[in-house]
């Protein structure tokens, strides 16, 4: 029995869904390294990954690299980009530095980070809908424009697989996408709305519908299921 109809969650969670509306449309805009058309194509690949035969077979394998083959792709994106999208969507806990460096060598460091960030942003919004039994959103309309391909200043090697801002003012995860500031803005906006909520993050006691230990228990469970070390 459903106590609250899923559609009612949209009304009750209006501030969150308003953020989703805004972020979702901007995912279809031209990025710094990928065009709007390519970004929307990447979003289609995120959803396709869940019915990709190669991804399903790899999930069941002891190591994903033991299984060779082609992804069931729905776009003209480069093969390595499709591999990044599908693996990040379906099997994030078993990504390796060696694999990442091969993808970066092929598509470039900044395009790698922009694509990965885009996948993560979409994943949050899609996951929220699935978790509440809501239908997934239609993909946004691709917007015109040419990527300007400008690398930001102040980024470098801080010990991660990709360059990040060298200034450490917050948690490492909060600067993970700093190589692509425009797409990072979408990511930050979403995480703030879903979880950290600005200065509240520093408070150990939260006045929300769930207590902070309840929220952190959910967080720990998801991270354990995804085998995320961080």
Partner 1 sequence: MLRASSEALDSEVDLEQLEAGADVTHGELLVRYAESAVRQDSDLGKVRSGLEAQVGPGGVIEAAATVAAFEGLNRIADATGIQLDSGLADESADFRMLLGLDAYAGAASTEVAGVPTRAADVMGIFR
Closest CA to 82 of 96, 95, 72: 72
CB of 144 to partner 1, least distance (A): 27
Nearer of residues 118 and 139 to partner 1, judged by Cβ: 118
CB of 84 to partner 1, least distance (A): 8
Neighbours of 103 (CB within 10 A): 23
* Spatial contact of 61 and 157, defined as CB atoms under 8 Å apart: no
Helix, strand, or coil (residue 164): strand
Closest CA to 65 of 94, 107, 105: 94
Nearer of residues 68 and 209 to partner 1, judged by Cβ: 209
CB of 162 to partner 1, least distance (A): 5
Nearer of residues 37 and 212 to partner 1, judged by Cβ: 212
Nearer of residues 74 and 134 to partner 1, judged by Cβ: 134
Nearer of residues 144 and 230 to partner 1, judged by Cβ: 230
Closest CA to 119 of 185, 227, 221, 44: 44
The Cα 161–Cα 172 span in angstroms is: 12
CB of 61 to partner 1, least distance (A): 14
Neighbours of 210 (CB within 10 A): 11
CB of 148 to partner 1, least distance (A): 22
CB of 125 to partner 1, least distance (A): 7
Angle between helices 181-191 and 109-131 (to 10 degrees): 20
Q: What angle do CA 159, 162, 164 make, to 5 degrees?
A: 75
Nearer of residues 44 and 101 to partner 1, judged by Cβ: 101
């Amino acid at each position: 029995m459903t106590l609250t109809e899923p559609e009612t969650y949209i009304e009750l969670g209006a501030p969150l869904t308003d953020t989703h509306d805004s972020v979702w449309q901007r995912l279809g805009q031209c990025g710094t390294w990928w065009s709007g058309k390519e970004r929307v194509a990447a979003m289609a690949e995120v959803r396709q990954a869940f019915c990709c035969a190669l991804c399903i077979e790899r999930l069941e394998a002891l190591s994903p690299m033991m299984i060779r083959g082609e992804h069931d792709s729905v776009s003209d994106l480069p093969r390595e980009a499709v591999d990044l999208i599908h693996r990040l969507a379906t099997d994030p806990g078993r990504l390796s530095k060696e694999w990442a460096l091969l993808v970066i060598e092929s598509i470039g460091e900044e395009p790698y980070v922009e694509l990965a960030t885009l996948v993560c942003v979409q994943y949050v919004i899609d996951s929220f809908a699935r978790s509440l039994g809501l239908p997934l959103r239609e993909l946004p309309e691709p917007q015109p424009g040419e990527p300007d391909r400008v690398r930001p200043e102040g980024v470098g090697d801080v010990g991660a697989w990709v360059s990040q801002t060298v200034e450490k003012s917050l948690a490492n995860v909060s600067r993970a996408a700093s190589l692509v500031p425009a797409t990072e803005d979408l990511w930050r906006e979403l995480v703030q709305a879903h979880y950290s909520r600005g200065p509240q993050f520093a408070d150990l006691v939260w006045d929300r519908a769930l207590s902070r230990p309840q929220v952190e228990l959910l967080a720990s469970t998801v991270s354990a299921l995804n085998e995320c070390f961080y």
